Amino acid sequence: MNEFITKIKKLSLGGSNSYLLECAQGYILIDAGMKGAAARLSVKLKRLGVEPCEIKLIILTHGHYDHAAGLSEIRELTKAPVAIHRNEIGTDLERGLNDKNESTFLYRFIVGIFKKITPEGESGYIINPEIIIDDELGLEDFGVDARIIHTPGHTPGSISIITGDGQCVCGDSLFNIFPGSHYPIIVYDRKVLAKTYSRFEAEDCGVYYPGHGDPISKRMFIKRIATKKRFMSPNE
């Protein structure tokens, strides 16, 4: 991935991947992990020689607790404004839940386990963003050639960040934790997610950074998702 100009670094702040996107004015943090994330972020920033105040924006790809429950403490640490899509605000997502889902048996099985192991207080966080995204938002004002696009399906307000040099931080629209599949275990709406995959194909990115697992190459995206998309939306 050395051909990419914009630097993107994966961080684990607990429960999911977060990413640091380098910009002219400092860094943009994408996703805030779970409770305890600020302490993890402090350690990782120190190793990188980055001050918390150099984080100029926090983007939440969506409101699930493993991406957003660490937000309030990270906000306190960095004082950065928060951006999220309108559809993620004031819904059950702020309690870590989808109000509708078309997920698989595997998802329901895993959620059954998570309900037992999720610590008390992990849900019930308030996002209260400074920046509300609708369809698209350019990030030029933050000193980076990138834009946020609306990529629903995993949740109604899932978003992705696409850089000018063809990198895509896609949150949980793609997973990379199971062999042979990049399909998320939680799906709000399968047909809507199929449309999002068509949009990803049109954007033609060279690499996708998922919410869980390692980056996915364009070749693997096409191989796994093109097949899945036909299965997901047979009438389109």
Beta carbon nearer to Zn ion, 75 or 154: 154
Regarding 94 and contact with Zn ion (CB under 5 A), the answer is no
Minimum CB distance to Zn ion smaller for 60 or for 144? 60
* Total residue length of the chain: 236
Q: Count residues contacting Zn ion (CB under 5 A)?
A: 2
Cβ proximity of 154 and 194 under 8 Å: no
Q: Which is nearer to Zn ion, 23 or 71 (CB)?
A: 71
What's the closest the beta carbon of residue 188 comes to Zn ion, in angstroms? 9
Q: Which is nearer to Zn ion, 163 or 173 (CB)?
A: 173
| Among positions 151, 172, 183, 207, the unique one binding Zn ion when judged by CB under 5 A | 172
What is the Cα–Cα distance from 123 to 27, expressed in whole angstroms?
27
CA 63 vs CA 19, 72, 86, 146, 158: distances in Å: 16, 13, 11, 21, 8
For residue 10, which of 39, 33, 38, 34 has the smallest C-alpha distance?
Answer: 33
Closest to Zn ion by CB, 21 vs 174, is: 174
- Cβ neighbors of 69 (< 8 A, separation 6 or more) are 15, 32, 33, 34, 35, 37, 96, 122, 123, 125
Residues 120-159: x where in contact with Zn ion by CB under 5 A, - otherwise, as a string: ----------------------------------------
Residue 234's contacts (CB-CB under 8 Å, 6 or more residues apart) are none
Nearer to Zn ion by C-beta: 172 or 189?
172
Taking CB under 5 A as the criterion, the residue among 35, 40, 56, 64 binding Zn ion is 64
Q: Would you say 129 or 157 has its CB closer to Zn ion?
A: 157
d(CA 88, CA 62): 6
Determine the Cα–Cα distance for residues 172 and 193; give it in Å rounded to an integer. Answer: 11
Q: If DSSP codes are grouped into helix, strand and coil, which group holds residue 158?
A: coil
Q: Which stretch binds Zn ion (CB under 5 A): 80-88, 94-102, 165-173, 222-230?
A: 165-173
- Rounded least distance, CB 24 to Zn ion, Å: 30
The answer to whether residue 85 forms part of the interface with Zn ion (CB under 5 A) is no
Q: Does 212 bind Zn ion (CB under 5 A)?
A: no
When asked if residue 56 is in the footprint of Zn ion (CB under 5 A), the reply is no
Pairing of strands 167-171, 216-217: unpaired
Q: Does 88 bind Zn ion (CB under 5 A)?
A: no
Residues making contact with Zn ion (CB under 5 A): 64, 172
